[in-house]
Every structure is written in structure tokens, then in C-alpha cells.
Chain A
């Protein structure tokens, strides 16, 4: 399935069906990241429930140094 992550096209296996699984796929389960799904920021709870669909727009961000 094709989804857009951080403005880039990604072809991911169909078995990756939830945001939680997407995090596992990219080895991000133990890293503090924040995720937006089609413009909506998701809490940790929501990440397990949201099902991915082809064409979804995902943003994965993290805290970085800043003032």
C-alpha cells in the first residue's frame, strides 16, 4: 500500500495496517515520536486503533533541540 510519510511516498506491506504497526515497521516503538494522521494529531491510545489506508498522509515528528 502507498502512503505518504513526511511528504514522501512510501510503499509499505499490506500487513502494516495500523499506526502502531507502522511504528514497529520503522523501528520507532521505543522512540518518542508524535504522529499526525491525515491532519489529526494522535494520542498513544489512538495509534493502535487507526487503520491505515492507501493514500493516507502521515507526519512523524520528534522533539529536537530548539529555543
Chain B
């Protein structure tokens, strides 16, 4: 076999893009969407310990699809970045935009400088004091960053999932309604539609009313209740939205403590990636 002496920059970039895109699309789906009470994350994830969703800071959350060790590496970097900024300035000085920007720069540098790009897609979300302040940033393997107005779908069959959620999406969805819409879309995607239950889901919220740390995992009974709650597009969504946010808060608080013990991530062991030298 002969080795080519020259490959055009265009060819190299195209190959890398294709490689990353193909591998991200092989993963399981993740949906992040805004609802009046904050931001909801729903991921298909059979593992209780290897998380796709995570807390970055008080008002900032993280969701990822793709290769675990690579996005876990970015998540840890994001936590360090946010904690450093919050410690040396003030807690209010940490913004989702800054975290997303740091990720974008890092992903962009890796994409151009290294043989292999990160096979990940990331969503950084920030919950504001009012719904108008909520932000969703979608980041891709090459460092491009897009702010999405309503929702982000990532991973395998992302386009299908996104359009399915969009069919029922409206601005005043209750938490239960939003969760069920996301779960329906995740279940329907793929060649073999299936029913996703609580055991195969990872669900979390950035709850506007929860201070100072808005990030909250919905697990166990709280999640089951949310999935079973009757809701439909005809439901009086406006009145419900606040109620649901409140309910989830209480349910969550009750289960939170016992649950934190189960949430162990093997983060550091499995997120290892030998430090790369300069290319």
C-alpha cells in the first residue's frame, strides 16, 4: 500500500468531522429543554453511576453524548474552571456562557491540533432568575457553539428526537409534561422503538426555585411519579407548571439524601485520558 505524501487540509478536516460525527451518532440520545420552572435534562442511560448529566455550578448544568472518558474529562475541567472563577471572584460571576466558551475553545483546539477529535457533543445550560434568562448552548466536536432557544437533542438519531419533541413542545409545559415528551421522543427514536422506564433514564433539572445549587437529580420514587403523572397537551399547563415544580422540589428533597450515596461516579478512574503531548 502506498502512503500519500500530501493530504489537503480540507480532506483532513472532513475526515475528522466525519469520524467524530459518526461516533457521536452511535451513542444514546440526550434531550435538554426549557420549561417554565427551569431546565430539564433527560438522557437514555442504563448506568446509575456513569453519568451523562452533571452539575457544573450553582446555576449551570452539563449534558453530553458520545465517548464517556472524553466528555467526563471536559466536565471535570468545567467544574474546576467554574469553582476557580467563583472562588477568586464571586459566586455570581460564574456564567454558563463562560463555561461554554471555555469548552468551545478547548474542543476547537483539540479538533485542529490532534490526530483525533473528541467524539462528543455537549450541552451547557444555565438557569436564570426568570425564564427569559435561561440559556442553552450546544457544542460540537469541532468547537462550534450555538445558542438554542428551546431545546437541544444530541447523540444517536438526534434529528428525529428533536423533531418529535418539537411537535409537542410549548412554552408553558409542566415538568411532568416536558419529561414525558422527552422520554417519548427518546423511546421512539431508532430502528426498534421501545419503552424506556426509569431504570434506563437519567433525569435531572436545573430548578429555578432551588437555591443556591439549582442542579437536582430526579431518581427513584420522584422520577416514577413524574413519569406516571397524567398530562397531555390539553392539560391546563400554566397552572400546573408551578405546582409541579413545587412538588418535585419536595419529593426531591426527601429522596435526595439517601440517593447521593448511589450517585458515585467512577469519574476519575474511567475518565482518564493520558495527557496528550503537543502534536
Partners in one complex: no
Binding site for A on B (CB under 8 A): none
